[in-house]
């Protein structure tokens, strides 16, 4: 008898690395992706840290043909509250036969160790489809592969405020200082992916207001 596929959820930030991790996983015949797992800040109804509106998050999931599982947390969230919310989501995942969660992390060892430890506590595994890739090459591979994204959040202590709302394209990459990771893996910036492999159709979006809050610059991406 053929072996059954491993069921996996993708930790879905709404950004480019999540989309590409999903793209890579869907080419693996041994894995079946059955859902997207996203942390949403309930006070703002936006994807945590990325600042993406839930309306666009839902549109992504629909275009990808996957159910969305939201972990709703308050704006000022303690570790205890976060852990409780994530535990509830993982309980749902296990009941659905999911045994692993895939992440778009690239090279931060401390982040990987944290994810592996937390999932290991409950008998689940962490999967890292993009781990160890050269980020300059990966960035170009994503863009050449049809990925379309905008920068929705950035750390102004690491990159220019002018990048907020910019298209994630070759022109942007060529203008980044050498100190900035091309994929923003050190927290320099975060993105919203509105086109690329796996999406049934590109999402129509336009740029709204750019604001600074809590030390970060956010660009509001709007539908339509």
User: How do residues 147-172 score in pLDDT, each as one tens digit?
Assistant: 999 999 999 999 999 999 999 999 99
Q: What is the CATH number of the domain that holds 164?
A: 3.40.50.620
Whole-model pTM: value is 0.95
| Domain count across the chain | 1
CB within 8 Å of 149: residues ≥ 6 apart: 15, 16, 19, 167, 168, 191, 192, 193, 194, 195, 196
Mean pLDDT of 181-191: 98
Backbone dihedral angles phi then psi of residue 134, each to the nearest 5 degrees: -65, 120
pLDDT of residue 123: 85
Mean pLDDT, residues 174-190: 97
| Residue 1 in this model has a pLDDT that exceeds 60 | no
83-113 residue pLDDT tens: 899 889 999 999 999 999 999 999 999 999 9
Residue 1 located in a structural domain: no
Is residue 51 within 8 A of residue 152, CB to CB? The reply is: yes
Residues 6+ apart with CB under 8 A from 57: 12, 14, 38, 40, 47, 68
pLDDT at 40 over 60: yes
pLDDT in tens, 113-127: 999 998 998 889 999
**pLDDT at res. 62:** 98
Mean pLDDT of 177-194: 97
If you average pLDDT over residues 3-18, what whole number do you get? 93
What is the average pLDDT value for the chain, to the nearest integer?
A: 95
Query: What is the C-alpha to C-alpha distance for residues 117 and 111, in angstroms, rounded to an integer?
Result: 10
The predicted pLDDT at position 3 comes to: 62
Average pLDDT over residues 30-37: 96
Show the domain range for 50: 6-223
């Amino acid at each position: 008898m053929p072996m059954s596929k491993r069921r996996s959820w993708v930790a879905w930030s709404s950004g480019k690395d999540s989309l590409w991790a999903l793209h890579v996983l869907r080419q693996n015949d041994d894995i079946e992706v059955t859902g997207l797992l996203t942390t949403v800040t309930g006070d703002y109804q936006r994807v945590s840290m990325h600042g993406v509106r839930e309306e666009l998050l839902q549109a992504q999931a629909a275009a990808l043909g996957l159910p969305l599982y939201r972990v709703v947390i308050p704006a000022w969230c303690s570790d205890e509250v976060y852990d409780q919310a994530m535990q509830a989501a993982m309980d749902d995942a296990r009941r659905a036969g999911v045994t692993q969660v895939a992440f778009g992390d690239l090279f931060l060892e401390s982040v990987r160790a944290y994810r592996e430890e937390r999932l290991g506590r409950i008998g689940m595994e962490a999967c890292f489809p993009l781990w160890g890739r050269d980020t300059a090459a990966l960035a170009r591979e994503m863009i050449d592969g049809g990925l379309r994204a905008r920068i929705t959040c950035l750390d102004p202590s690491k990159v220019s405020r002018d990048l907020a709302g910019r298209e994630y394209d070759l022109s942007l990459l060529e203008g980044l200082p050498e100190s900035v990771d091309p994929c923003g893996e050190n927290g320099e910036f975060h993105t919203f992916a509105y086109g690329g492999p796996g999406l049934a159709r590109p999402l129509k979006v336009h740029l709204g207001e750019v604001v600074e809050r809590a030390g970060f610059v956010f660009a509001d991406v709007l539908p339509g």
